[in-house]
A = this chain, B = another copy of it.
Amino acid sequence: MYNAVVARVMEYHDQLGLSRERFAELAEGFHDDSYAGRDYRRLPDYRKGIEKGTVLVAGTVVRGFPKIPRCLVLDSGIPQHFDGEIAVEEKLDGYNVRVARIDGDVFAFTRSGIVCPFTTHKARSLLPVDRFFEQYPDRMLCGEMIGPENPYTTADCYDVDSIAFHAFDIQDRKSGESLPVEERRAACEALGIPQVDLFGIYKPSEAVESTPEIIDDLDSRGREGIVMKTVDGGQQLKYTTSAANQGDLAFAFGLPFDYGRDFSFRRLIREGFQSVEFGDTEAERRERAHGLGESLLVPMADAIETVEEGERLGERHTVRAEPRVVDALLDHFREQSLSIDIERDRRVEGQRVLTFSKQIQRSTDKIDTYLDGTIVTE
């Protein structure tokens, strides 16, 4: 009890390890928000010295999940980044969630620090949260929400019917310090928490040998990639498959004026370096190029045709939950000023199954303008 009281009176800047002055500078970057009557503040962007998605709530801190650095070349990037043993685990393509307990209540925070009512409900019902927080009261469970029925992402390459949580980290809620990989995996195993696949623990030179095969296998299954981390969980590095690079491009070019040029350029560049490092034959390089071209042109032409037919572009998602949870999600979107078109609304075994589309205005409008004959001077 004594420790808890001390934590409550520690100021935010101390909990974050920042000077009072630096914290004061950052403070205006935080947005005010609330969930179920509880106010919180969150940092929606990256800032120097503090993770995006960091949350201040009830006198305590929920630190943002760090951006994981990436290499474009495994062969040189792994030994450059790591000295000792590293665990190679699967990187899943869903949305990043931190599950934390604040004053006795469990919340699920998205990457940008929003408490999502839908995800909070799923975390509470899918995970043994009481047992987890009994064992780790000051930690948060970090993982990926994957599966076809989720309100944020669309990858559908997993053997998941609706939605599932897979853990990849157990971090100190304030400092962000990770449990060592093997301890974390054993804890998840013991608690029955699903977790990401571990491909092995390697020396850097072994990882250089093994990771291309792992990537090839993941690529053939349409999966996203790998995260490599020191066994103490302190340092991370990621690398993605061609399927992920091209999938991202297809997504971006389906909404061509809403994604940054840099987003697409980076993924094109990754394909170039991978083609060289993986020693594509001329035929393999051509095949990769054809996939790349299709991932750009086909969704873009589809989007143009959609607008030409007078329809609006959107991101389609399906969610399945108790009716009150779906209502809360829709209220949540409304508060965020998202425009939602309901496409299908069913009840299945007491659950509400809702298919909706988030309207994407900019691409719709821009395409419409060009279809109308607008002249560009560029």
List the interface of chain A (C-beta within 8 A of B): 67, 69-73, 75-81, 237, 253, 256, 261-262, 264-266, 268-269, 271-273, 275-276, 280, 285-286, 288-294, 296-298, 300-301, 303-305, 308, 370-378
Contact = CB atoms under 8 A, between A and B. Distances in A.
Nearest to A265: B261
Contact of A71 (B265, B292, B375): B375
A268 B300 contact: yes
B301 A266 contact: no
Contacts of A291: 293
Nearest to A308: B276
Contacts of A69: 375-377
A285 B266 CA distance: 24
A81 B79 CA distance: 58
Contacts of A289: 290, 293-294, 296-298
A272 B294 CA distance: 11
B296 A292 contact: yes
* Number of chain copies forming the complex: 2
A71 to B, nearest CB: 6
A265 B366 CA distance: 14
A218 to B, nearest CB: 20
A286 B81 CA distance: 40
Contact of A80 (B237, B290, B300, B372): B372
Interface residues of A, dominant DSSP: helix
A79 B373 CA distance: 8
25 contacts: A70-B377, A71-B373, A71-B375, A72-B374, A75-B373, A76-B371, A77-B373, A80-B372, A80-B374, A253-B272, A261-B265, A264-B265, A266-B378, A268-B300, A272-B300, A272-B304, A273-B304, A273-B371, A276-B305, A280-B301, A285-B298, A289-B296, A289-B298, A292-B297, A293-B296
B290 A77 contact: no
A104 to B, nearest CB: 36
B288 A297 contact: yes
A119 to B, nearest CB: 25
B296 A67 contact: no
Contact of A81 (B308, B371, B375): B375
A300 B293 CA distance: 14
Nearest first, the 4 closest Cβ-Cβ pairs linking A and B are A293-B293, A76-B373, A80-B373, A261-B261
Given A76-B371, A272-B256, A273-B370, A376 B71 contact: yes
A294 B290 contact: yes
Contacts of A80: 372-375
